[in-house]
Amino acid sequence: MEKATFGAGCFWGVEAAFQKIKGIKETSVGYMGGTLKNPSYKDVCTDKTGHAEVIQLVYDPSQITYEKLLTVFWETHDPTQINRQGPDVGTQYRSAIFYHSDEQRKTAEKSKEKQQQSGKHQKPIVTEITKAQEFYAAEEYHQKYLQKHGLSSCNI
């Protein structure tokens, strides 16, 4: 099993998108990329911790490739928006790939380049590609939030 970590806006919707994919064994939403240890959702919402809302996946690379996970990542959000996704604004909603190995870093950089050259985006892609740091799981009520509430998207 391997890990992958992505920030693509509100983690509820991102988690819902990845939960449906064969080869994903576990999903967990949380925070990464900031300076505050053990942040709470309230802390992260202050926009002062530096953390992004992220989804951390445990996946079986014999069933799904990291490259395919990146495809889902790009399709799940608008990677040209700086510190926002739709109505959600703040650094916690930034577009980010947190890599867990040098191989993931290289694959992510190639994938970003391919996306930029694809013509799908009118603006430059602003997605950061950063070494994974400590993952702080979000509060239990955030885990599988949409599933728990019988929702299929964040359009609530």
User: Where are the extended beta strands (E) located within the chain?
Assistant: 2-8, 24-32, 52-59, 84-85, 88-89, 95-99, 128-131, 136-137
Q: Which of 10, 14, 69, 138 is catalytic?
A: 10
Torsion 94-9-67-124 (CA) sign = negative
Active site residue 10: yes
What is the set of active-site residues? 10
